[in-house]
């Protein structure tokens, strides 16, 4: 495919393969965080510093502003893709997290849990660096933004984030790792209400029955189940600019092969960096429509993009670097179906860059048809993917300075 494009670069770096130093998880969350920080900082030095002008439309919308702290809510106008209308807590007050402790039944003012369960819109920020070890899933209410800019925020060592039947949520700039399964019990979901919560799956972020949700610039690794799961009829979702490493089953989009309500799911996966130590599911899709655009895949052990139950997948402008293993060069994987069945599924690759023998197996009538719904966003040329994704993951942001690594 021929591309036509015009924009100005402040800086263009072609990024080499990232080296991520992995250390086996330890029980003390503080020690876990230290190891994760050490690994991320090392890889960031290799990625280089990019602030704006890269062609990444999200970053170019807000990262060129050294006064980002005074203009935090500008971020809510920078979304792209199917989740672009997620406004989070844009129309509410600022809520400052000052206390990293967690009490699922009676959350204290100043804690993250106390903020996310409020009924009114809130833009949640953090007073200082902190490690938050949750004791139950963090049930995020509608019209909330969790904005980690200006501090280094880790959610680690316990259950993590869940969006259940809520809408208009932005999760930005958080380190989420070593998430564990939690026990069942009562947990606060509103200021004066508790709900029974079953045992959690151990995902980094679960979006169940949610809509208009945007997950941006988070760093995710080493969770019990998935890094991000989008299930039970969720739609209008964008997952962008995230930095994902060291996990087997990365991202599940669609609950099960029998849950047909997921046929209305629409998800955009854009500008993410899929790094070292990933197995597959980047993503694994069911039933819905999925636009996978301008992501950087530098490693997979089994496959990159897979699915079952006839999902529609449009892979556009991505960079795929296949592993050296000759048995796993294929980007795509079809689950639980015969060849005669999956050849009817609409899977299309357009303008992808295939390296080291990587190849994509297209299928279905959609392989030659126009994908009108892919107008969720326009793809950039894949040769620009290294620069557009060099800022993936949680950023270091200091007031008066551009956000970088």
Residue with tokens 């849990």: 113
Beta bridge partners of 235: 211
Q: Under a CB-based contact definition with an 8 Å cutoff, are residues 386 and 14 in contact?
A: yes
**pLDDT at residue 216, as a whole number:** 98
Phi/psi for 315 (5° steps) reads -100, 120
CA distances, 118 to each of 85, 95, 135, 166 (Å): 21, 10, 19, 13
CATH number attached to the domain at 47-388: 2.160.20.10
Burial status of residue 314 (CB atoms within 10 A of its CB: 0-12, 13-18, 19 or more): buried
Q: How much of the chain exceeds pLDDT 90, in percent?
A: 75
**pLDDT at residue 256, as a whole number:** 85
**pLDDT at residue 31, as a whole number:** 56
State mean pLDDT over 250-272. 92
State mean pLDDT over 203-225. 96
* pLDDT digit string, tens, across residues 191-201: 999 999 988 88
Q: Are strands 284-286 and 167-172 parallel, antiparallel or unpaired?
A: unpaired
User: What is the H or E stretch that residue 38 is in?
Assistant: helix 29-47
State mean pLDDT over 137-154. 98
Q: Is 281 one of the catalytic residues?
A: yes
Q: Residue 1 corresponds to which tokens in the numbers above?
A: 């495919």
Neighbour tally for 25: CB within 10 Å: 19
Q: Under a CB-based contact definition with an 8 Å cutoff, are residues 166 and 140 in contact?
A: yes
Rounded Cα distance, 176 and 173, in Å: 10
Q: Residue 19 corresponds to which tokens in the numbers above?
A: 């080296």
The residue from 63, 90, 281, 284 that is catalytic is: 281
State mean pLDDT over 379-390. 94
Instruction: Specify the higher pLDDT residue, 207 or 29.
Output: 207
Q: Under a CB-based contact definition with an 8 Å cutoff, are residues 403 and 72 in contact?
A: no
Instruction: Specify the higher pLDDT residue, 336 or 213.
Output: 213
* pLDDT digit string, tens, across residues 52-71: 677 899 999 999 999 999 99
At 47, the pLDDT band (50, 70, 90 cuts) reads very low
* pLDDT digit string, tens, across residues 83-130: 999 999 999 999 999 999 999 999 999 999 999 999 999 999 999 999
Domain boundaries of the chain, sorted by first residue: 47-388
Distant-in-sequence, close-in-space partners of 355: CB < 8 Å, separation ≥ 6: 319, 320, 321, 322
Rounded Cα distance, 206 and 163, in Å: 6
* pLDDT digit string, tens, across residues 282-326: 999 999 999 999 999 998 999 999 999 999 999 999 999 999 999
CA distances, 148 to each of 32, 161, 343, 381 (Å): 19, 14, 43, 30
Average per-residue pLDDT for the chain:
87
**pLDDT at residue 20, as a whole number:** 34
Please determine, for residue 376, whether its predicted confidence score (pLDDT) is greater than 60.
yes
Q: Residue 193 corresponds to which tokens in the numbers above?
A: 């209400």
Rounded Cα distance, 252 and 280, in Å: 10
| pTM for this entry | 0.87
Closest CA to 83 of 258, 247, 291: 291
At 255, the pLDDT band (50, 70, 90 cuts) reads confident
Closest CA to 162 of 137, 144, 180: 137
Q: How much of the chain exceeds pLDDT 70, in percent?
A: 84
Q: Residue 363 corresponds to which tokens in the numbers above?
A: 């299928």
**pLDDT at residue 150, as a whole number:** 97
DSSP state of 107: P
Please determine, for residue 43, whether its predicted confidence score (pLDDT) is greater than 90.
no
């Amino acid at each position: 495919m021929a591309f036509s494009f015009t924009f100005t670069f402040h800086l263009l770096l072609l990024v080499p393969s990232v080296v991520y130093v992995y250390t086996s998880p330890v029980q003390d969350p503080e020690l876990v965080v230290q190891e994760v920080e050490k690994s991320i900082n090392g890889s960031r030095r290799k990625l280089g510093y990019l602030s704006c002008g890269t062609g990444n439309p999200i970053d170019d919308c807000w990262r060129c502003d050294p006064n980002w702290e005074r203009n935090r809510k500008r971020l809510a106008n920078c979304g792209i893709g199917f989740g672009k209308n997620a406004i989070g807590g844009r129309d509410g007050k600022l809520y400052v997290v000052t206390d990293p402790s967690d009490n699922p039944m009676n959350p204290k003012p100043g804690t993250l849990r106390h903020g996310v369960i409020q009924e009114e819109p809130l833009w949640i920020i953090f007073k200082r660096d902190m490690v938050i070890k949750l004791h139950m899933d963090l049930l995020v209410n509608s019209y909330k933004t969790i904005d980690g800019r200006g501090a280094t925020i880790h959610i680690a060592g316990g259950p993590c984030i869940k969006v259940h039947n809520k809408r208009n949520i932005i999760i930005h700039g958080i380190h989420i790792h070593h998430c564990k399964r939690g026990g069942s019990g009562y947990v606060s979901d509103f200021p004066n209400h508790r709900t029974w919560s079953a045992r959690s799956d151990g995902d980094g972020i679960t979006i169940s029955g949610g809509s208009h949700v945007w997950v941006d610039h988070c760093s995710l690794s080493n969770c019990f189940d998935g890094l991000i799961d989008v299930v039970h009829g969720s739609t209008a979702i964008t997952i962008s600019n995230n930095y994902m490493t060291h996990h087997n089953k990365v991202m599940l989009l669609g609950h099960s092969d029998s849950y047909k309500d997921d046929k209305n799911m629409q998800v955009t996966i854009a500008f993410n960096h899929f790094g070292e130590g990933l197995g597959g599911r980047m993503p694994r899709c069911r039933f819905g429509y999925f636009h996978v655009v301008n992501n950087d895949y530098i490693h997979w052990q089994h496959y990159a993009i897979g699915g079952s139950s006839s999902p529609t997948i449009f892979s556009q402008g991505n960079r795929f670097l296949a592993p050296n293993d000759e048995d796993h060069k294929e980007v795509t994987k079809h689950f639980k179906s015969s060849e005669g069945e999956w050849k009817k599924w609409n899977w299309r690759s357009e303008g992808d860059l295939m390296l080291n023998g990587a190849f994509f197996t297209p299928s279905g009538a959609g392989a030659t048809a126009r994908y009108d719904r892919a107008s969720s966003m326009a793809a950039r040329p894949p040769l620009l993917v290294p620069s557009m994704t060099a800022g993936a993951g949680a950023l270091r942001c200091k007031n008066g300075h551009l956000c970088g690594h």
